[in-house]
Amino acid sequence: MENLDEQTLPAWWKDVQKALINEQMDTFRAEFLELHPYDQTQIFLAQNKNERMLIYTYLSPEEMAEILENIDLDELDPILTEMDARYASQVLGEMSTDDAVDVLNTLDQNEVASFLTIMEKEDAEDIKGLLHYEEKTAGSIMTTEFIAIEATMSIRESMLHLRKEAPDAETIYYVYVVNEDKKLVGVISLRDLIISEEDWTVADVMSDRIVSVSVGEDQEGAAKMMRDYDLLALPVVDFQQHLLGIITVDDIMDVIDEEASEDYSKLAAVSGMEKPDTSAWIAAKKRLPWLIILLFLGMLTASLIGRFEKALEQVPLLAVFIPLIAGMAGNTGTQALAVAVRGIATGESKNDGQVRILMREALTGLITGISCGVVITIVIYLWQGEFYLGMLVGLSILGSLVVATIAGSFIPILMHKLHVDPAVASGPFITSINDIISILIYFGMATIFMDLLIS
């Protein structure tokens, strides 16, 4: 067992661990299989390789599949590699089709081909049917293990069909209704099926107001749809409304977590979320592209300051306030960026909402700019006895904060309109842009005030 304090472990964990170490298979199975799948997964991940190899011999592929479905994708590759290839292919075959596809998408093509060749033909065909969908689309996360009934069936026939197909379905809370061409025409809840008269037809009971998603829709769009309509499952259709599969709420929770991590990475100017155990070399490779871009933006800021060298020679005190003005603009721009990206992510900024965000942020920048400008003018006058210098810095902060808030909210909205991920307008990127703008405003104002400053 790796890196765990045995003093803090619950009694049931110690019992399972003892049975495993002593190679008592019957005791281990009796204790282990009584646990919730989450607890089973945590115990499995805590073991070293030798102990995991024992677990593979103690658990059937079906039992092992439930554990793998609860493990993060980036941790699965070494686990699959250490398993016997035939056992691993059986485990993948027992997993939900969409989960098996997610796992196989993390492997190279040779490994995928090997597993599909060894796998049961029916399982392999189901998985191949999903593998060709583009990654991060509704098709790539849907499952084909759902129950569909025909509108012409009686309730009695539907219930018999449901009992027959339910063991292999991922969820039965919603039963989808298709016509003779396999096109989605309705949906009926399990509750409505149970309480309806047996001689009624499905068409009499079903709802034809169906919420569905196109197979090519981005997974984030599917997640928003399930959130907005408060669904446990979402049917996936092609352009002719043929029912292809369903997306279940557990898959959408994974998508939301993945998208949130991805957006956070981009806002921090990191190309991908780094695990605590990521090597320094890999972390550096991920961060370097953004840092080099920001380095060149920083050089542009430095060259702008160099162009105002004469002004700095005449009034050296101007240099003291450069970090203050640039920092204020960067911070304000990042705040506006966070508000705009959140509005886009939650759908609050649709249509008129985008104009409202821009107007509100501009007004916010004006109010905060006036407040900070007045405060800094008074502080500089009391500190240096320079009223005009105080006015220069105060007006520069006012202008910088107004422009920074507008830029921080406008850039992600513009990117969204251009179908570019708005999170790409990362905090460091906005900060660097606002540095350049604030320097231009500051020294532009300085040239206007120059006669007053040197008199």
How far, in Å, CA of 427 to CA of 266, rounded?
8
Per-residue pLDDT, averaged over 215-238, amounts to: 89
Residue 186 has pLDDT above 90, yes or no: yes
Per-residue pLDDT, averaged over 421-443, amounts to: 76
How far, in Å, CA of 38 to CA of 35, rounded?
8
**In this structure, are 250 and 336 located in the same domain?**
no
| Inside any domain, residue 140 | no
Question: Which residues, 6 or more positions from 274, have their beta carbon under 8 angstroms from its beta carbon?
Answer: 282, 283, 286
Tens digit of each residue's pLDDT (9 = 90 or more) over 319-333: 888 888 888 888 888
pLDDT at 56: 94
The answer to whether 17 and 1 have CB atoms below 8 angstroms apart is yes
pLDDT at 183: 93
pLDDT at 64: 94
CA distances from 359 to 79, 133, 308 (A): 53, 41, 33
| Inside any domain, residue 263 | no
**In this structure, are 353 and 426 located in the same domain?**
yes
User: Which residues are bridge partners to 188 per DSSP?
Assistant: 175
> How many domains does the chain contain in total?
3
| Inside any domain, residue 273 | no
pLDDT at 280: 73
Structure-model confidence comparison of residues 4 and 164, the more confident one? 164
SS3 215: coil
* Chosen domain end from 134, 161, 179: 134
Residue 233 has pLDDT above 60, yes or no: yes
| Cα–Cα–Cα angle for 71, 217, 265, rounded to 5 degrees | 50
Measured torsion, CA atoms of residues 7, 9, 10, 13, in degrees rounded to the nearest 10: -130
DSSP state of 238: -
| Inside any domain, residue 143 | no
> What is the domain-level CATH number for residue 363?
1.10.357.20
| Inside any domain, residue 186 | yes
**Percent of the chain at pLDDT exceeding 90:** 31
Residue 285 burial (10 A CB sphere; 0-12, 13-18, 19+)? exposed
**In this structure, are 216 and 332 located in the same domain?**
no
Tokens 């569909």 belong to residue: 148
> What is the domain-level CATH number for residue 248?
3.10.580.10
Question: Which residues, 6 or more positions from 310, have their beta carbon under 8 angstroms from its beta carbon?
Answer: none
How far, in Å, CA of 218 to CA of 251, rounded?
14
Q: In which band, very low, low, confident or very high, does the pLDDT at 187 lie, cut at 50, 70 and 90? A: very high
- The 3-class secondary structure across 326-359, one letter per residue, is HHHHHHHHHHHHHHHHHHHHHCCCCCHHHHHHHH
Task: State the average pLDDT for the chain.
Answer: 84
Residue among 342, 337, 323 at smallest CA distance from 269 = 337
CA distances from 217 to 135, 169, 271, 326 (A): 11, 23, 23, 41
> What is the domain-level CATH number for residue 61?
1.25.60.10
**In this structure, are 246 and 284 located in the same domain?**
no
Tens digit of each residue's pLDDT (9 = 90 or more) over 115-133: 888 888 888 888 888 888 8
Q: In which band, very low, low, confident or very high, does the pLDDT at 7 lie, cut at 50, 70 and 90? A: low
**In this structure, are 52 and 122 located in the same domain?**
yes
Per-residue pLDDT, averaged over 403-419, amounts to: 83
* Chosen domain end from 72, 100, 134: 134
| Inside any domain, residue 304 | yes
Q: In what order do the strands lie in the sheet with 148-150?
A: 148-150, 174-178, 184-189
R_g of the chain computed on alpha carbons: 30
The answer to whether 202 and 155 have CB atoms below 8 angstroms apart is yes
Q: In which band, very low, low, confident or very high, does the pLDDT at 260 lie, cut at 50, 70 and 90? A: low
DSSP string of 167-195, one letter each residue:
GG-S--SEEEEE-TT-BEEEEEEHHHHHH
**In this structure, are 218 and 117 located in the same domain?**
no
Q: In which band, very low, low, confident or very high, does the pLDDT at 304 lie, cut at 50, 70 and 90? A: confident
Residue 375 has pLDDT above 60, yes or no: yes
Residue 265 has pLDDT above 90, yes or no: no
Q: In which band, very low, low, confident or very high, does the pLDDT at 179 lie, cut at 50, 70 and 90? A: very high
pLDDT at 103: 87
The alpha carbon of residue 200 and the mean position of all alpha carbons in its chain are separated, in whole angstroms, by: 44
pLDDT at 348: 64
Per-residue pLDDT, averaged over 333-353, amounts to: 72
Per-residue pLDDT, averaged over 207-227, amounts to: 90
pLDDT at 277: 52
How far, in Å, CA of 187 to CA of 178, rounded?
9
User: Which tokens belong to 71?
Assistant: 């493990």
**In this structure, are 359 and 420 located in the same domain?**
yes
Tens digit of each residue's pLDDT (9 = 90 or more) over 349-365: 565 567 788 888 889 98
| Inside any domain, residue 238 | yes
**In this structure, are 129 and 157 located in the same domain?**
no
Tens digit of each residue's pLDDT (9 = 90 or more) over 21-55: 999 999 999 999 999 999 999 999 999 999 999 99
pLDDT at 59: 94
CB atoms within 10 A of CB 369: 25
**In this structure, are 294 and 429 located in the same domain?**
yes
pLDDT at 251: 85
The answer to whether 16 and 23 have CB atoms below 8 angstroms apart is no
pLDDT at 30: 93
Per-residue pLDDT, averaged over 85-98, amounts to: 89
pLDDT at 51: 92
How far, in Å, CA of 375 to CA of 61, rounded?
69
**In this structure, are 446 and 417 located in the same domain?**
yes
- Tell me the backbone φ, ψ of residue 178, rounded to 5 degrees: -125, 160
**Percent of the chain at pLDDT exceeding 70:** 88
**In this structure, are 417 and 304 located in the same domain?**
yes
* Chosen domain end from 86, 105, 134: 134
Task: Give the predicted TM-score (pTM) of the model.
Answer: 0.59
Residue 221 has pLDDT above 60, yes or no: yes
DSSP state of 198: T
| Inside any domain, residue 310 | yes
pLDDT at 275: 55
Q: In which band, very low, low, confident or very high, does the pLDDT at 262 lie, cut at 50, 70 and 90? A: low
Range of the domain at 193: 148-255
Residue 22 burial (10 A CB sphere; 0-12, 13-18, 19+)? exposed
The answer to whether 326 and 439 have CB atoms below 8 angstroms apart is yes
Q: Do β-strands 174-178 and 184-189 pair in parallel, antiparallel, or remain unpaired?
A: antiparallel
Question: Which residues, 6 or more positions from 199, have their beta carbon under 8 angstroms from its beta carbon?
Answer: 154, 155, 156
pLDDT at 370: 93
**In this structure, are 435 and 316 located in the same domain?**
yes
